[in-house]
């Protein structure tokens, strides 16, 4: 697998006892498919060994403003969710690193680090990266309750918030020093959730997205038809996720029992031909077309006007191929950015990549049909010109949000 665009995060760690929890945060971020570059202050290295962060992220930990990072002893390409990206290692490391990052998250952020940031100091690598950044910055403060309550810290906090820095936590509870109060770092899972939400926010703002979802139903006679097991859940989750991400979403849906996601314009169709017409009538002006529907490949050549009566003789049904909606949209002179889906039952990567090339779409999401149809959880593989990336199992809305983030990065 080669590298695909995915959100890059600088994980800053400063010198507090909560630094050990940064390891769990790094693990969660890497597992979710983010590229994580750990950066530690000198003080942080007294609380947790850089080797731990290097092992979890597959990248050398950066600590020094001057000089090159240590030679990696772990693989940095070819395997592992976080492998494959170039570590930063020339004289302008801080500029490159802060330009490439989609987010800097500092967890834990000590009182001293907050003070330095509030004053725009750049006296070590991490504070320099923060000052040189062109991306959002999130801090997860962690300190003794008296230090947190101190007017100087509160003054710095107010300044950082005014400067647009996002603060998560701290929590209240028992502290390492034995006291109880406000100052504990938020749990890694909570920080992870905040990071995922921030990277997702508004990524499709101003975009128009047309999505097909659900099965189609091809009548044989007035009471029978050909359909498939698609539930429509993935397409509806994508419509909800694209809407959450700021897009104006139109959903062209085959027959499903699902509720329309809030803020989404829905149009119901039954057959593949109706779906084709509904899409073609609305495709002009769309920025993105996401073809999730399980469109029937064939329809009965002639649908009987009356119920077919049973007889003892074998019955042969003549079928006519339906038009391929996705391939037709992708072939338009002013085609929107097209995303296809592929449900396969074997040789997933091979069949999916062949389908992506045949339909000439820049992005295709593939899954194993027997694991996904009607299920609430899905593991999917995203294929694009750069290669493939596996998105680990998650509920369909989480998966849809990850697909939207991937799509937004390709659109850029
Ligand atoms: N698709 C479409 N119109 C069709 C058939 C498929 O738009 N008539 C789209 C689907 O929405 C999906 C992609 O094409 O995004 C792949 O669908 P899939 O059923 O997996 O592939 P097929 O092209 O039908 O190939 P096969 O059934 O042979 O695997």
Predicted pLDDT of residue 7: 79
Q: Bigger pLDDT: 92 or 76?
A: 92
State how far the Cα of 148 lies from the Cα of 177, in Å rounded to an integer: 14
- Longest distance between any two alpha carbons in the chain, whole Å: 90
Q: CA 209: distance to chain centroid?
A: 17
How does the average pLDDT of the chain come out, rounded?
Answer: 89
> Fold match between 8-198 and 208-302+315-411?
yes
Q: Determine the pLDDT at residue 71.
A: 40
Domain 8-198 sits in CATH at 3.40.50.1950
- Centre of ligand 1 to C-alpha 149, Å, is 59
Task: Give the residue, by CA position, lying nearest to ligand 1 atom 16.
Answer: 342
Contacts of 165 (CB under 8 A, 6+ apart): 117, 137, 138, 139
Q: Is the pLDDT of residue 86 over 80?
A: no
Give residue 93's pLDDT: 63
Which phi and psi angles does 392 have, rounded to 5°? Answer: -60, 160
The set of catalytic residues is 177
Full DSSP string of 15-71: SSGGGGHHHHHHHHHHHTT-EEEEEE-TGGGGTS-HHHHHHHHSSPPB--SSSPPPP
Pairing mode of beta strands 103-109, 137-141: parallel
* 8 Å CB contact between 253 and 210: no
Q: Given a cut of 50, is residue 1 above it in pLDDT? A: no
Per-residue pLDDT tens over the stretch 256-315: 999 999 999 999 999 999 999 999 999 999 999 999 999 999 999 999 899 999 999 999
Rounded CA-CA distance 350/367 in Å is: 12
pLDDT band at 96 (very low <50, low <70, confident <90, very high): confident
Lowest mean pLDDT among 89-98, 165-174, 338-347: 89-98
User: Tell me: the pLDDT tens digits for 314-325?
Assistant: 999 999 999 999
Bridge-based pairing state of the strands 288-291 and 8-13: unpaired
Best mutation site among 297, 330, 337, 351 for ligand 1 pocket (most ligand atoms within 8 Å of CB): 297
Say how far apart CA 160 and CA 139 lie, in whole Å. Answer: 10
8 A C-beta contact, residue 24 and residue 8:
no
Residue partners of 370: CB distance under 8 A and separation at least 6: 345
- Domain borders along the chain are 8-198, 208-302+315-411
pLDDT at 84 over 80: no
Q: pTM for this structure?
A: 0.74
User: Which of 107, 175, 158, 176 is closest to 137 using CA atoms?
Assistant: 107
Q: Transcribe 372-385 into DSSP letters.
A: HTT-SEEEEEEEET
Residue 174: its pLDDT value, please? 85
pLDDT at 175: 81
Express as a percent the part of the chain with pLDDT over 70: 90
pLDDT bin (cut points 50, 70, 90) of residue 224 is very high
More confident site: 352 or 94: 352
Give residue 364's pLDDT band: very low, low, confident or very high (50, 70, 90): very high
Whole-number pLDDT of residue 292: 97
The answer to whether the CB of 14 falls within 8 A of the CB of 106 is yes
DSSP class per residue in 154-181: HHHHHHHHHTT-EE--PEEEE-TTS-EE
Please indicate whether residue 340, judged by its CB atom, sits closer than 6 Å to ligand 1. Answer: yes
**Looking at residue 352, what is its pLDDT?**
95
SS3 281: helix
Q: How far apart are CA 69 and CA 60, in angstroms?
A: 7
Q: Given CA atoms 199, 200, 206, 209 in this order, what sign does their dihedral have?
A: positive
pLDDT in tens, 118-146: 999 999 999 999 999 989 999 999 999 99
Q: What is the distance in A from the centroid of ligand 1 to the CA of 341?
A: 7
- Kindly list the distances between the CA atom of residue 188 and the CA atoms of 3, 18, 22, 196, 329, in Å, as whole numbers in the listed order: 26, 10, 7, 12, 43
Q: Is residue 217 scored above 50 in pLDDT?
A: yes
Preceding amide of 372 cis, omega within 30 = no
For a mutational test of ligand 1's pocket, the pick from 234, 276, 291, i.e. the residue with the most ligand atoms closer than 8 A to its C-beta, is 291
Contact 110, 16 (CB under 8 A): yes
DSSP helix, strand, coil percent of the chain (3-state; round to 5):
35, 25, 40
> Ligand 1, residues 234, 277, 298, 340: which to mutate, most atoms within 8 A of Cβ?
340
pLDDT greater than 80 at residue 346: yes
CA of residue 99 to ligand 1 center, whole Å: 39
Dump pLDDT digits (tens) for 192-210.
989 988 888 888 999 999 9
CA distance 266 to 280: 15
Distance between Cα 250 and ligand 1 center (Å)? 20
What is the average per-residue pLDDT within 320-345? Answer: 96
- With tokens 């969710």, the residue in question is 81
What superfamily in CATH does domain 208-302+315-411 come from? CoaB-like (3.40.50.10300)
List CB contacts of 75: < 8 A, sequence separation 6 or more.
58, 83
Q: pLDDT band at residue 97, thresholds of 50, 70 and 90?
A: confident
């Amino acid at each position: 697998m080669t590298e695909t665009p995915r959100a890059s995060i600088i994980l800053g760690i400063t010198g507090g006892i909560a630094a050990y929890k940064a390891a769990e945060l790094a693990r969660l971020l890497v597992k979710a498919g983010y590229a994580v570059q750990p950066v530690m202050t000198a003080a942080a290295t007294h609380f947790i060994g850089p080797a731990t962060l290097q092992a979890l992220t597959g990248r050398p930990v950066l600590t020094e403003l001057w000089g090159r990072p240590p030679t990696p002893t772990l693989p940095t390409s070819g395997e592992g969710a976080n492998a494959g990206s170039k570590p930063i290692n020339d004289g302008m490391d801080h500029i490159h690193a802060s330009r490439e990052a989609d987010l800097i998250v500092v967890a834990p952020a000590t009182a001293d680090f907050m003070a330095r940031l509030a004053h725009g100091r750049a006296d070590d690598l991490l504070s320099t990266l923060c000052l040189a950044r062109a991306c959002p910055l999130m801090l997860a403060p962690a300190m003794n309750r008296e230090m947190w309550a101190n007017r100087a810290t509160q003054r710095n906090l107010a300044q950082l918030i005014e400067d647009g820095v996002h603060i998560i936590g701290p929590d209240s509870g028992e502290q390492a020093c034995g006291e109880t109060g406000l100052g504990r770092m938020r749990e890694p899972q909570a920080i992870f959730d905040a990071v995922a939400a921030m990277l997702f926010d508004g990524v499709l703002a101003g975009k128009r997205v047309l999505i097909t979802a659900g099965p189609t139903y091809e009548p044989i006679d007035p009471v029978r038809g050909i359909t498939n097991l698609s539930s429509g859940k993935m397409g509806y989750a994508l419509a909800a996720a694209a809407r959450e991400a700021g897009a104006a979403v139109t959903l062209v849906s085959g027959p499903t029992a699902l509720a329309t996601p809030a803020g989404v314009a829905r149009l119901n169709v039954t057959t593949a031909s109706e779906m084709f017409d509904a899409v073609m009538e609305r495709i002009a002006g769309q920025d993105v077309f996401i073809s999730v529907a399980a469109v029937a490949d064939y329809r009965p050549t002639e649908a009987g006007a009356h119920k077919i009566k049973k007889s003892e003789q074998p019955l042969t049904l003549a079928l006519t191929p339906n038009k391929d909606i996705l391939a037709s949209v992708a072939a338009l002179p002013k085609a929107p950015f097209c995303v296809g889906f592929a449900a396969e039952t074997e040789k997933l990567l091979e069949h999916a990549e062949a389908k992506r090339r045949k339909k000439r779409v820049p992005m295709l999401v593939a899954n194993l049909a027997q694991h996904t149809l009607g299920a609430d959880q899905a593991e999917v593989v995203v294929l694009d010109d750069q290669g493939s990336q596996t998105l680990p199992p998650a509920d369909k809305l989480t998966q849809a949000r990850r697909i939207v983030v991937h799509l937004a990065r390709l659109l850029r």
